[in-house]
Amino acid sequence: MSKSKPKKDNSTWSKVRKFFNDIHLWGGLISGIVVFVVCLTGTIYVYNTELREAALPEYYKVEKKEEKIIPDTLLYLAKPAINGTITGVKIPFHEGKAMTILYDKSSKEENGGGRGGRRRYNQMMIDPYTGDVLGDPSNVKTKTGEFMGKMFGLHRWLLLNEVEEPIIEGVENRKLGSWITGTATLLFLLGVLTGLVIWFPKKMRSWKNGFRIRWTANWKRVNHDLHNTLGLYTWIILFLMAITGPFWSFEWYREGWQKTWGTYQDRNASREEKIEPVSKLIDGKRAMTIEETILTVNTTLPYDGDITINFASDSTGTVGIVKNKIGFFAPSASDRLTLDQYTGEVLEKDIFREKSIRNRIGSSVKALHIGDVYGPFSKLLYFISCLVATSLPVTGVLIWVNKMKKNGKKKV
């Protein structure tokens, strides 16, 4: 007695699901290798800053002692070691970190032959307890730094930026690499969106299966569950990474993003020149010390955080302030102030929480892409999600191969 063939499901939902499944499949197969490379390098690059600093602990970490030297004295002690113009300081809230003195090298010879002799901003580290000048970490090459540089080049340009001869006439290799990774990311975004649609089961009672991995099943089922379930749990972060990624690959995408969130500024459009605030010269009045500036900042922005002070460029210039909150759940967005260098009067305020939701999203494209949204907490979530994203092309291809084998056996 022959077995009856299962009745074919011709419902509208099945047709819709198959349509999205085909898009999901072919988009994944076309972009799979590039997505794997981009996601793997992205996973590593999540902790770029931490890894680079860990490779040079003698520049960033200091031993906590009873009392710190005042910042103005530290600046005086560091001046002889600085070959350039001092532009500001970074005051860390954490007591075990070195203070940073910002300076720039303006000539081509001084900055190592940068393009067109453009200014290269450097940082000199100093121990706030002893006054010992620790040096400029950017002058030290480490294997970690070189490795992270390669990871970034792979992530952004597939290392095509290191190929000297043009691959396509008239197209810069760096741009070509960016187009390839950007296109793969758009296909990945399509996969993320279609993946959510095809995740929904046909029957309500089957929903719970989509939330768990059946580890005791055969390897094909485990692989299928890893793809479906982990993809679902990380869906929001995968979507954020994918939708922000092409921002750095395509001008049209970047312009569209900025127009959507109200941050676009036409470079060619004529606009009124902004009147910059100035400090008022007062006879006999000296500029504020760093210590006085910190006090003013903490009064205006009363929360724990790292403070960057950009010094006034001349006698009527203003002091620029950037303050970042610290903590495991601390948002990465900065609050900014412009101060009169003599009186400490707040001339301009740019407080992130006071911006509209639309403007916050538009100006946070980088933070949304790299996971630097809510400090170490969001970085950890992005790291895990990036690992999942790296696995998706692998598990997806295995699902496809298994289906091909199964269909082949049926035909036989």
pLDDT value, residue 217: 92
Name which residue leads in pLDDT, 59 or 106: 59
Mean pLDDT over 54-64 rounds to 96
179-229: pLDDT as tens digits: 999 999 999 999 999 999 999 877 766 778 888 999 999 999 999 999 999
16-27: pLDDT as tens digits: 889 999 999 999
Q: Which architecture, in CATH terms, is 290-362? A: Roll (3.10)
For 204, the token pair is 């309500």
Quick check: 135 and 103 in contact, CB under 8 A? no
Contacts of 408 (CB under 8 A, 6+ apart): none
State which H helix or E strand residue 283 sits in.
Answer: none
Mean pLDDT over 272-281 rounds to 83
Mean pLDDT over 71-83 rounds to 95
Question: Binning pLDDT at 50, 70 and 90, where does residue 120 land?
Answer: low
Whether residue 316 has pLDDT greater than 80: yes
Q: Other CB atoms closer than 10 Å to residue 185's CB: what's the count?
A: 26
Question: Binning pLDDT at 50, 70 and 90, where does residue 15 land?
Answer: confident
366-404: pLDDT as tens digits: 999 999 999 999 999 999 999 999 999 999 999 999 888
Name which residue leads in pLDDT, 237 or 105: 237
Whether residue 112 has pLDDT greater than 50: no
pLDDT value, residue 118: 41
Quick check: 151 and 44 in contact, CB under 8 A? yes
Whether residue 260 has pLDDT greater than 90: yes
pLDDT value, residue 11: 76
Torsion, Cα 188 191 192 198, to 10 degrees, reads: -170
Question: Binning pLDDT at 50, 70 and 90, where does residue 113 land?
Answer: very low
Question: Binning pLDDT at 50, 70 and 90, where does residue 108 land?
Answer: very low
* Average pLDDT across the chain, whole number: 90
**What's the angle, vertex CA 99, arms to CA 93 and CA 101, rounded to 5?**
130
The domain spans of the chain are: 12-48+148-261+376-411, 57-141, 290-362
128-158: pLDDT as tens digits: 999 999 999 999 999 999 999 999 999 999 9
Whether residue 293 has pLDDT greater than 50: yes
pLDDT value, residue 30: 96
